Amino acid sequence: MGGILEKIIEKKDHPAREAVIWNNLFFGPSRRKGVKMRPDWEAGNSPFFLHPEILDEVVKYVYLPKDIAEGVRQFAKQKAAEKATAERDAKKAAKP
């Protein structure tokens, strides 16, 4: 967001530029059209995205920056409001 990578790439003397374009098919000078992925590569969603309600328990054991914690709390409130709205709409639809 905000085009940070583009700004780094525009400045030829930026200290991070070489690391950003190294082996980068989109920004770098490579002519390769693809890369091979290792078969053991894995990705997953953040537990805070899946279950934002766990934040208060996690903070007891793990350091979490205040701005991140506040963002997760806001996300939890948003998800709770969406869930309440969906349940209310389902009840309305179930009534004859």
Q: Mean pLDDT per segment of 10 residues, for the chain of length 96 residues? A: 81 89 74 77 87 91 93 92 91 82
Q: What gap in Å lies between CA 83 and CA 77, rounded to an integer? A: 10
pTM reported for the whole predicted model: 0.50
Q: Dihedrals φ, ψ of 15, to 5°?
A: -65, -25
Closest CA to 23 of 8, 41, 36, 10: 36
